Amino acid sequence: MTMTRFRSLLIDKAGVRMPGLHVMRFALHRHMPEHASVELHKHAWSQVLFYMDGRGVQMLRNAEARIEPGSLVVLPPGAPHAFRREKARAPLCLMIDFQMKGARAHRADVCGLGRSELAEVQRHLAHLLRLYDGAGKAFRWECVPVMLQLLVMFLRAAGWIARLRPAQADELGSGAAVRQLLAKMDKNAALAQVVKQSGYQRDYLNRLVKRETGLTLGRYRAQQRLARAKELLAQGVRVSEVAAETGLPDQSYFARWFKKQTGRMPSAWARRKE
């Protein structure tokens, strides 16, 4: 993950308030270069620490966790924590200080984000920096939704906020979009091409497809191909034609693939007794 292009950003008194939530501070910066570590301390508020580059060790009371690019630390009020970096380069860290109703019921957590979530963080931060350019010390209201989207994403990753249920995802349009994609998927196209045409990151698309079908994109297409192959073989269609029709035109490869799925060669499966 390359995020070194992002420069420092500080919204020291964000003052974003809504029922149950107050975002106090939003800062993107490097640890002070003269300090190799941040000593054990705690806050009266909650805090998100998202490490965008750099490596080290995050200490949480008596526990330690490895920190690398993409590591996320979410701390409830009063949670003792410290950080020790491992290399000369100070890590680039996104920090959000906030107060949230019920935060004390949660535990401090260290986790990592998936590739699609990391890409989403980059997009949000790039957008936020564009909005903030030229604002000087003035706070731009357009920044608020972006900061809240990032905070919600981090809290979901740490389990502080429940992830969307499939029905909720449908309301946002992703469910319908995935069903349309699957219905129109070219059986001969490489999976990389299908992913590119979808406009989603691959691992995120896999999660959406699994939410709809219970299978990853690759397994879903394999299941569809197998069902079509069985249907054609049952009709007496030649194996070479079945291979071409299911998007696996190499007959030998198709035969090996079919046997791996069913335990039988295509010709043997076609001759089976019902």
Decide if 2 is inside a domain.
Answer: no
* Domain-ending residue, one of 161, 176, 205: 161
Residue range 32-83, pLDDT digits in tens: 444 445 677 889 999 999 988 888 888 887 778 888 888 899 999 999 988 8
Residue 10, pLDDT score: 65
Decide if 4 is inside a domain.
Answer: no
Backbone φ, ψ for residue 229 (5° rounding): -60, -45
Instruction: Answer yes or no: do 77 and 193 share one domain.
Output: no
Higher pLDDT, 150 or 176: 150
Confidence of residue 103 (pLDDT cuts 50, 70, 90): very high
Confidence of residue 219 (pLDDT cuts 50, 70, 90): confident
Decide if 1 is inside a domain.
Answer: no
- Give yes or no for residue 132 having a pLDDT over 60: yes
Instruction: Answer yes or no: do 126 and 143 share one domain.
Output: yes
> How much is the mean pLDDT over the chain?
80
Instruction: Answer yes or no: do 132 and 194 share one domain.
Output: no
Residue range 169-215, pLDDT digits in tens: 444 456 677 788 888 887 777 788 888 777 777 888 888 888 888 88
Instruction: Answer yes or no: do 137 and 180 share one domain.
Output: no
pTM over 0.85, yes/no: no
The domain of 195 spans 167-214
Instruction: Answer yes or no: do 68 and 132 share one domain.
Output: yes
Residue 32, pLDDT score: 45
CATH number at residue 71: 2.60.120.10
Instruction: Answer yes or no: do 150 and 174 share one domain.
Output: no
* Domain-ending residue, one of 161, 176, 204: 161
Confidence of residue 274 (pLDDT cuts 50, 70, 90): very low
